[in-house]
């Protein structure tokens, strides 16, 4: 491929998706948005070979190139010998959220109140995918967007879990409540434990930002606040770890429930 055509491809709005899991999820979720795959020449990884075969079956452009160019394309991200250049994922907003919730018999949502670290957002998306969450809601401002780093950490979950970026988190919470969703926030100031709380109905769990926790406005809007028992000297958990604990307690309670 000539450098001129590479520069021309760069004029299109595009994002770089790095790594085997992230590229695999992208190929499954929206192959029509992929401009091309960049693959390291001589790479013998069987998973990379499978993805190349899948891409070619779909009629996608696959470009073999030297490792140096892949490193230049991926920046500080670990690429594992494969990179996809693709159109940015569509941005879902408040209207999309309301429409999706209206179609769900028993919504199961995660709200992240100002999580700015892309590593934490990616990890939260990964655990949300594992728990079967219907969507993750984040504010548009003062929070990490879904960046290439988020996609890399999420290991494919950024494609499988809908992410809703809302302009006003308080208004989004109120809209969810009007739609019958019970909004429960995690806070060390809560009077009841997560394990004492009924999580079986239409549910949105809310977790706060790194070190700061929930904002006061968000706390006041929650239908209930719950805390995680902390038996050691550490006062709090990383937000992605807390998300895992809360979401999987909800999964445990909701298993076998149909209402």
Per residue in 11-42, pLDDT tens?
A: 467 889 999 999 999 999 999 999 999 999 98
Q: Which of 253, 250, 101 is nearest to 174 (CA)?
A: 101
Q: Does the pLDDT of residue 250 top 90, yes or no?
A: yes
Q: 165-174, 186-195, 203-212: which has the highest mean pLDDT?
A: 165-174
pLDDT of 3 reads 47
Predicted TM-score (pTM) of this structure = 0.87
Q: Which of 55-64, 171-180, 184-193 has the lowest mean pLDDT?
A: 184-193
Q: Does the pLDDT of residue 187 top 80, yes or no?
A: yes
pLDDT of 130 reads 97
Identical topology for domains 3-86 and 94-254 = no
Q: Does the pLDDT of residue 1 top 50, yes or no?
A: no
Q: What is the pLDDT of residues 127-148, one digit of tens each?
A: 999 999 999 999 999 899 999 8
- Domain edges within the chain: 3-86, 94-254
List the CATH code of the domain at 3-86.
Answer: 3.30.1330.30
Q: Does the pLDDT of residue 80 top 60, yes or no?
A: yes
pLDDT of 91 reads 85
HEC secondary structure over the chain: CCHHHHHHHHCCCCEEEECHHHHHHHHHHCHHHEEEEEEECCCCCHHHHHHHHHHHHCCCCEEEECHHHHHHHHCCCCCCCEEEEECCCCCECHHHHHHHHHHCCCCEEEEEECCCCHHHHHHHHHHHHHHCCCEEEEECCCCCCCCHHHHHHHCCHHHHCCEEEECCHHHHHHHHHHCCCEEEEECCCCCEEHHHCCCCCCEEEEEEECCCECCHHHHHHCCEEEECCCCCCCCCCCHHHHHHHHHHHHHHHHCCCCC
The larger pLDDT score, comparing residue 124 to residue 2, is at 124
Domain 94-254 class?
alpha beta
pLDDT of 154 reads 94
Mean pLDDT, rounded, for 145-163: 93
């Amino acid at each position: 491929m000539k450098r001129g055509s590479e520069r021309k491809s760069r004029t299109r709005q595009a994002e770089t998706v790095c790594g085997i899991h992230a590229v695999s999820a992208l190929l499954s979720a929206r192959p029509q948005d992929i401009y091309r795959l960049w693959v390291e020449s001589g790479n013998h990884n069987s998973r990379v070979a499978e993805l190349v075969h899948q891409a070619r079956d779909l009629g996608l452009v696959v470009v073999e190139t030297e490792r140096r160019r892949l490193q230049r394309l991926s920046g500080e991200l670990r690429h594992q010998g494969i990179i996809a250049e693709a159109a940015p994922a569509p941005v879902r907003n408040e209207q999309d959220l309301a429409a999706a919730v209206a179609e769900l018999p028993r919504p199961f949502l995660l709200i992240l109140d100002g999580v700015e670290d892309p590593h934490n957002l990616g990890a939260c998306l990964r655990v949300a995918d594992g728990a079967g969450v219907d969507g993750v809601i984040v504010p548009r401002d003062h929070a990490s967007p879904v960046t290439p780093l988020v996609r890399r950490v999420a290991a494919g979950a950024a494609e499988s879990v809908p992410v809703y970026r809302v302009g006003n988190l308080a208004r989004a919470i109120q809209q969810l409540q009007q739609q019958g969703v019970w909004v429960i926030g995690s806070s060390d100031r809560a009077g009841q434990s997560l394990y004492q709380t009924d999580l079986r109905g239409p549910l949105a769990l809310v977790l706060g930002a790194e070190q700061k926790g929930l904002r006061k406005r968000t706390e006041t809007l929650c239908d209930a606040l719950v805390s995680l028992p902390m038996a050691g000297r550490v006062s709090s958990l990383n937000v992605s770890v807390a998300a895992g604990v809360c979401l999987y307690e909800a999964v445990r309670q909701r298993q076998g429930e149909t209402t």
